[in-house]
Every structure is written in C-alpha cells, then in structure tokens.
Amino acid sequence: MSKSGPMMHSYQGALPHLPLPSLNDTIGKHLLSMRPILNDEEFEDLEHLSEVFRKGLGRRLQRYLQLKSWLSTNYVTDWWEEFVYMRQRSPIMINSNYYGFDTLNEHPTHNQAARAANVTFTALLFRRQVERQEVTPVSGCFVFMIRYCILMCLLVLCLPTYKSAILYNAVRTAFQQLPSTRRGGKRLVIN
C-alpha cells in the first residue's frame, strides 16, 4: 500500500541548522521582555545581574552551547525534553501545554469524564498517526498559527520530539531521579 504525499519526517534532513543567538542578543531580548513587568528599581537590578552574568558564567555557558550546536542539528530538543517536560513535577497540561484543551468555545457535554475521555481518545489517535508517520510536514502556515494547528491535529512540525515519541511514551514519577521512556507503551495513567 502506498501513501500519497511526503511522510512526516521526510524533510527532516533538509531543515536548516538551528542558529545559535549570541549571548548579547539573548540577554538583550530577556531585558526587553522583562521591562514591561518590572519597576525601575527592579529593572536596574536585573540589568546589573545581566551584566555580571554576561561577563562571568554566561560566557562559559555560551561556549558549551556553541559546542553543542556544532555537534547536533538541534541543540535545544534533548534539553527541552529532559528539563522542561521530564523534570517538571507540576501538571504539564495546564502549566506548559496550555493549548491542549478539548474544545475552544463550545462544550458538547459538561460531563468531565466524557470530556477527559474525548481528549484521551483524540491524543491517542494523534499518537497512532505520529507512530505511522501519517502526519504531513508543515507547509504554508503562518508561524503564529503553528501551535494552534498542531493541537488541532491539522499539521505537525518536523520535530525530533515527535520522532522519539517522548510526548506519549514518557513517565514522570514524583521523587524519581530520572524519568523513563518506553517504546510501545500500552497503558494510560491518570492521576
């Protein structure tokens, strides 16, 4: 049986190398993003701390990041998976993946169990599509729409995260030092 169109990861090798921003750019953007929420005194403190970081630890960390960027096509993904998804102990659905809701404006039922079952069913359908590489790569979508489109199962980015299926085969257990991933897991745990 043949599939029409490209498979999910067929363009992975053609993606450009992820650029590494300079330390000055990163610090500048951080300061710019924090300015609206800090008063003048807090912002001056942040500027001072940023300068200390830029001259000290920041240089060393930037060198490590540069080395990592030379050795991998995406220097962010594995650290993102480990430190953002796997080590975080608060509920991911509401604290990280806040777009992951069952409907936007209309609720077909107010029965919470039915809504949870619908979210679970849809997520597992998407998981099967990811495993079979049936989701087509992104093309012709505005950047601001990508997150919405992914969660509505309209399209998917060509991400190593999906390739590793860590989104579906990961177990985060409280008080466990290292989270584990398992291929082909058949269980669903809700707590």
Domain ranges in the chain? 18-75, 91-191
Asked if 82 contacts 172 with a C-beta cutoff of 8 angstroms, the reply is: no
The pLDDT of residue 154 is 41
In CATH terms, is domain 18-75 a member of 1.10.275.20?
Answer: yes
Reported pTM: 0.53
The pLDDT of residue 82 is 74
- For residue 42, what are its two tokens? 């807090």
CB-based burial, 119-132: b 16+ in 10 Å, e otherwise: eeeebeebbebbee
The pLDDT of residue 181 is 54
Asked if 115 contacts 107 with a C-beta cutoff of 8 angstroms, the reply is: yes
Q: Where are the beta strands (DSSP E) in the chain?
A: 170-171, 180-181
DSSP state of 180: E
One pLDDT digit (tens) per residue for the chain, 191 residues: 555 677 777 777 777 778 899 999 999 999 999 999 999 999 999 999 999 999 999 999 999 999 998 888 788 877 877 777 777 666 665 566 555 555 656 667 788 888 778 877 887 887 788 778 787 766 544 443 444 444 444 444 445 544 444 455 565 555 555 555 555 666 666 65
